[in-house]
Structure 1
Amino acid sequence: MSTAPRPALTPAAGAGRGPAAGPAAGDRPARVGRRSRRGYEAVSGWLFVAPAVILFAVMGLYTVGYGFLLSFAQWNGFAPHWSWVGVQNYKDLLWANPAYAPRVRHAATHTLYVMIAVPLLTVLVSFPLAVLLNSAKRLQALLRSVYFVPYVTSGIAVFFAWQYILQPDGAVNTLLNTVGLGSLAQPQGWLGNPHTALPTMIVVTVWGAVPVAMLLYLTGLQTIDRSVLEAAQLDGAGWWRTNASVVWPLLRPITAIVVLLNLRDSLQGFQTFLVMTNGGPGDHTNVLGLEAYRLAFLKDLAPTLGLASALGWLLFAAALVLALINLRVLRSKT
């Protein structure tokens, strides 16, 4: 029985392109729809962030640029026009003007003392406190909240409370007289004596800076692998040796952050000095931030807003240099 050979099945013309072209043609509207949906989402996103961007542009970029231009001019805040003086404001602050340069140098000396003492004392107090708090087995959350109270309490209220405590008849002098250390009491008050005013302000500043530093150290301590500490103890290291040779080097990045934050606050902060002493007695607690505030707002109608702006930009430049140095040191040790 013979059969005729079947003819070869060949696709018709265009049959091969049909199935391939069909999905592509069907995907085109889908791609257009996805593009339009992405465009709609982008526009919606920009509309949502537009208020914040506009606010930042007005209150941030415009203000910064305005202040930078003002540092090259003389203006009292009321005159309709500036008087352009170029870099003369910077010269007057640094050496040229005998009325401003000595005050700025005097304030810079006090600021340098604060910048050295506050970060150092903050680290010396907060690190042992964090170690002790980390070793507490009970009431750790309560103790942590108690130590953090100075930071969350209203600053103005705390500063006035400190003023009351440090007065001639305040709690500090009363306590010293009660325990038989009346010779250490200050009849003028701790803020009224030129020799004790600046150290007292440094202590108050450290008291306000310790809570954040302590929590940073506590967070770092809780991330250290327990096996590292157990290995040190198996090698015979005691509590002191373990914390000095193992824990402290591991927390060096946190120490750099604590130092940088306190350097910034010591260089640019002035609220504590403004509320508690206003630079007194005399100018023994005057710092650069407070001097910039005085130049801007406490010189009546004198054209010193440009000087205040110039001093602010000098402080910004110093803070930027300190931040870069701190970052460089941190990178070299990690």
Structure 2
Amino acid sequence: MTALGTPSAAAPGTVGAAARPSRRRAAPGGRGREAVTGCLFVAPALLLFAVMGLYTVGYGFLLGFARWNGFAPHWDWVGLDNYADLLWRDPVYAPRVREAAVNTLSVMVAVPVLTVAVSFPLAVALSRVRRAQAVLRSVYFLPYVTSGIAVFYAWQYILQPDGAVNYLLGVLGLGSLQEPQGFLGDPATALPTMIVVTVWTEVPVAMLLYLTGLQTIDRGLTEAAALDGAGWWRIQASVVWPLLRPITAIVVLLTLRSALHGFQTFLIMTNGGPGTHTNVLGLEAYRLAFLAKFAPTLGLASALGWMLFAVAIVLALINLRALRSRV
């Protein structure tokens, strides 16, 4: 018999059960309401993606197998004729596409190489600066954040026959390098000039990527190489550069994408001229889609766009395979 006021012994497990918070099982109806609420929140985004994404992509893919001018109520299904006309069969479009492909290939080779060659040393030099590094980084990144159309019109102005480049060459006594027709008006200098402008727009992002990679490298590796007698150039070539190989792959992939699909610079500055010396595949697809008045070339433009997409996928896979094999 227990004493008065003394709690009686509780049954086994009673205290633990009382101490643990009670777990309420969610009712099936509550879970259903949560699922419906989540679906309602996600539905606008899914609907927008279905209309602007899946429907548009599917529509464009099917259009590549049809002939349509954008106004007729029905398509004319032609199968693979659009691809054949662009590649070899049509005497009007096939030569233009081949010439644009050669120009695009030149841009795709030159832009990544020059971008890496400029951005990596620039990032190394900027990483060694201790004062005003943020200011210099902002200055070098300015070409990327500036309005593209305004910058391209400025480039077009300074490259004219009476522009700043010819004037500067004359002041420096390099009159033999001046271009009386302007650097964009001479067929021999138009495409190289456009490549330089494209590299100028790609360098800021590439430099920032390299600068980020340089800040993640363990200083102990470079110090160990220096203790082993390696000079500065040897350290950059044998230690720093191999460690930044993944970033180089990203830079190459980004510049290849811009060189393959980008055409705004060429459209604004040269419109493919003089003649067709700066005509690229992206600009040719734009012309087929929007500049051929009442001509049934929308199918050709869609087919050319899908060929560019296929090339971009192949290049991305090759780049990814090369990156994995070296890591």
State TM-score, norm by structure 2.
0.92
Which of 108, 129, 145 is matched with 2:101 structurally? Answer: 108
Alignment correspondent of 1:192: 185
Separation in 1, partners of 2:179, 2:153: 18
2:217 counterpart residue number? 224
Aligned residues: 313
The counterpart of 2:26, out of the listed 25, 32, 45, is 32
Match of 2:54 in 1: 61
* Equivalent residues in 2 for 1:1-334, closer than 5 Å: 30-33=24-27, 36-334=29-327
Q: Give the distance between the partners of 1:297 and 1:86, measured in 2 at CA.
A: 22
C-alpha separation in 2, matches of 1:36 and 1:137: 62
Take 2:26 and 2:238, find their aligned partners in 1: how far apart are those partners?
63
The separation in 1 between residues aligned to 2:321 and 2:143, in whole angstroms, is 32
CA distance in 2, matches of 1:113, 1:273: 14
Residue of structure 1 in register with 2:4 after alignment: none
Paired AA for residue 171 in structure 2: T
Deviation of residue 41 (structure 1)?
3.5
State the Cα distance separating 1:222 from its structure 2 match. Answer: 0.2
Cα distance in 1 for partners of 2:215, 2:146 equals 26
Identity %: 76
- Shift of the alpha carbon at 1:53? 1.4
Corresponding position of 1:11: none
Aligned partner letter, 2:25: R
Task: Name the stretch that deviates more: 40-49 or 322-331.
Answer: 40-49
Deviation at 1:37, TM superposition (A): 4.5
TM superposition shift of 1:27? 7.1
Structure 1 residue runs of 5 or longer lacking an equivalent are 1-14
Q: Rate the CA distance shift 1:230–1:287 in 2: closer, same or farther, 3 A.
A: same
- CA distance in 2 between counterparts of 1:133 and 1:80 reads 59
With normalisation by structure 1, the TM-score equals 0.90
Gaps of 5+ in 2: 1-10
| Equivalent-residue separation in structure 1 for 2:291 and 2:323 (angstroms) | 40
Displacement after TM superposition at 1:148 (Å)? 0.2
What letter corresponds to residue 86 of structure 2 in structure 1? L
Aligned CA-pair RMSD: 1.8
